[in-house]
Amino acid sequence: METLLESIGNFLNTLGPMIVLPIVITILGIILGQRPDRAFRSGLLTAVAFVGIFLTVGLLGENVSTIATAFAERTGTGLDIIDIGWPAASALAFGTPVGNVIIPVGIALNIILLLLGLTQTLDIDIWNFWHMAFVGAIVQFVTGSFALALAAAAISLVMALFLADWSASLIQKHFNMPGVSIPHLQSAGYMLLAWPFARVINRISFLKRLQLDPDSIRKRLGVLGEPVVLGLIIGLVLALLAGQAPLDALITAVNIAAVMVLVPRMVAILMEGLTPVADAARNFMTSRFAGRRFHIGLDSAVLIGNPGVIASGLLMVPVEIVLALLLSAVGNRTLPFIDLADGPFVTAMLAPLVGGDVLLTVILGAIVMGIGLIFTTLLAPAVTQMVVQSGVSVDIPAGYATYTVMSDGAIPASYGLYYIFSLPGVAALVVSLIVLVALYFLKGRFSLGGERGED
Amino acid sequence: MERKKVYIVCATGIATSTMLRVKIEEFLKDKGIDVVVNQYRVTELAPSRVDADVIVATTGMPDEFAGVVPVINGVPLITGVGEDQTLQEILDTLQAAG
């Protein structure tokens, strides 16, 4: 079994995402009842997206790796590991061997868990299976085994479903979205880590009295919510600090603004290819579970319009930069960069833990990302390998700048499984099984927003 | 009928808004409506910059958009629950915009 899986893994790796993902998407679409010509078009679009993604991520590497190294040296901060951001990471993760097969595997696993009654979440958010693919990619780095990487990805999917069940009731109440749960490994993973801290800071009454107004923050910091402007500003500051001449710095800044705009556009094409399949999968699953009570699992993106989430998410921009600088003393080398634009994904599921209070949400965000930055640094070799193996043409200056992904390197499930799978295979599987049982117990006994109150 | 403008707003301007764009474009094309669809992230949109006949959002929109442009909740297009009504609502709103 294991050798069979390994040869499948090698085979997928040799062909690459531009061949494998379109085939998987086309076949899956047909199995789920799509018309063959449309399924083929979907598959082809995913391949086209990868062409675009490789081109634009190459642009990122070219512009950023040189200035980041110079920045780290000249400023003495030592922040030489670049955050490539979730848009690039999502595509690269889908492009790995585990990423190529995660969608059908994930759907099947979700259906099995629903049939066994182990979860109440029907995850129709196929797109965010990329977080599990990311876990697979870093575990493949540490184990060298496709079978174990796939197992780790599957385990992280079960974690996401359990966390969605755990938080469902609170999320539904806080955001007024009945019938919904959020199996989003990133936001839900942060929520689990923040939960004990939330129980503490909810008791500190003077913090609660400070009441920051979400609307005025949103209006004042609104510009930080525009990736193109944020890219320009951060690019300019970094380039100047890295010692570039003003004109060169401006050119670098414009290039980074371009990365902020172009990479997501390419990812949108990938999304466009996946949409019909996601739709077919949704219809396939919901029709099989008609009449049963379940939560529909959605992207945490649906929570983000909430004013408290946006305001605290925008405040995360300066907070993450300051954290990175402060924590450089204790081992952080991550330079927060592209993912600065997506603070609301950090805060989306933290806000309900503190009744939507902006200041308390930011404090929780700082705790989660502070711990996270240490691990994004430690995970950098794994992420760098994911980038290098993807076939993106990036030159990493020898011995220096490497890459990480702030959004996903900072997820407890990512670094947790990364270290668990540093153990021998069997031990790793046993430990992760214990973690799953613990999470199952957690969602059964301590589910959020239930009768026991939100604390 | 002149070309209609639809904004689709989500958290990233990429993920859920792309799902909606695929569906809305297809639906409106079938109905013979000439439409241009743009995707935005909720944090980058201000009421003064909106030039659209309707906004479909998969995420809550700040209150200040009320009265500027009709805002339709796009979540049913993701969950599938109430999808047809939502598409019809978009069509009705565009036709009412004249």
The region that residue B13 occupies, defined by phi over 0 for left and psi between -120 and 50 for alpha, beta otherwise, is left
Q: Write down the pLDDT at residue B93.
A: 94
Q: Which residue of A has its CA nearest to B17?
A: A268
Other C-beta atoms closer than 10 Å to the C-beta of B9 total 29
Contact B11/A222, CB-based, under 8 Å?
Answer: no
Contact with chain B for residue A184, Cβ under 8 A: no
Give the integer Cα–Cα distance in Å for A404 and A81. Answer: 7
- Mutation target vs B (from A271, A274, A347, A407; most B CBs, 10 A cutoff): A271
What pLDDT band is residue A392 in, cutting at 50, 70 and 90? low
Residues ≥6 apart with Cβ < 8 Å to A164? A119, A121, A123, A181, A182, A183, A184, A188, A295, A297
Q: Would you say residue A61 has pLDDT above 80?
A: no
Mean pLDDT of A7-14: 80
Task: Calculate how close chain A gets to B92, using CA atoms only, in Å.
Answer: 24
Q: Chain A interface, mutation test: which of B59, B61, B64, most A Cβ atoms within 10 Å?
A: B59
Secondary structure class of B10 (helix, strand, coil)? strand
Min distance B2 CA to chain A CA atoms (Å)? 26
pLDDT value, residue B47: 87
Q: What's the confidence (pLDDT) of residue A15? A: 78
> Mean per-residue pLDDT for A125-130?
92
- Judged by a CB distance cut-off of 8 A, whether residue B97 touches chain A is no
Indicate the pTM of the whole model. Answer: 0.90
- The mean pLDDT value of chain A amounts to 89
Query: Which 3 state secondary structure label does DSSP give A334?
Result: strand
Buried b (16+ CB within 10 A) or exposed e, B59-75: bbbbeebeeebbbbbbb
Instruction: Please tell me if residue A166 touches chain B, with a CB cutoff of 8 Å.
Output: no
Which residues between 122 and 151 in chain A have a beta carbon less than 8 angstroms from any beta carbon of chain B? 124, 127
B43-96 tens-digit pLDDT: 888 888 899 999 999 988 888 888 889 999 999 999 888 999 999 999 999 998
Tens of pLDDT, residues A285-315: 888 887 788 899 999 989 988 888 999 999 9
Is B50 part of the contact surface with chain A (CB cutoff 8 Å)? no
The percentage of chain A sitting over the pLDDT mark of 90, rounded to a whole number, equals 58
A2 touches chain B (CB under 8 A): no
Q: Identify which of B11, B19, B58 has the shortest CB distance to residue A344.
A: B11
Q: What is the pLDDT of residue A455?
A: 43
Share of chain A above pLDDT 70, in %: 96
For residues A403-411, give the mean pLDDT: 94
Rg over alpha carbons for chain A, rounded to the nearest Å, is 21
CB pair distance less than 8 Å for A299 and B21: no
pLDDT exceeds cutoff 60 at A319:
yes
CA angle A261, A267, A272 (to 5 degrees): 125
Residue A331 has pLDDT above 80, yes or no: yes
Q: Do B22 and A314 touch (CB under 8 A)?
A: no
How much is the pLDDT for B88?
Answer: 96
Secondary structure of residue B66 in the 3-state scheme: coil
Predicted local confidence at residue A393, as pLDDT: 56
Cross-strand pairs, A123: A297
- Between A221-230, A292-301, A430-439, the lowest mean confidence (pLDDT) is in A221-230
Residue A74 has pLDDT above 90, yes or no: no
State pLDDT tens for residues A26-37.
999 999 888 899
Whole-angstrom distance, CA of residue A406 vs CA of residue A415? 12
Query: Which chain A residue has its CA at the smallest distance from B75's CA?
Result: A302
Residue B3 CA to residue A193 CA, distance in Å, equals: 49
Of A264, A272, A305, the CB nearest to B60: A305
* The predicted structure's pLDDT at residue B62: 83
Quick one: CATH architecture of B4-96? 3-Layer(aba) Sandwich (3.40)
| Per-residue pLDDT, A144 | 93
B49 CB neighbour count, 10 Å cutoff:
10
pLDDT at A453: 42
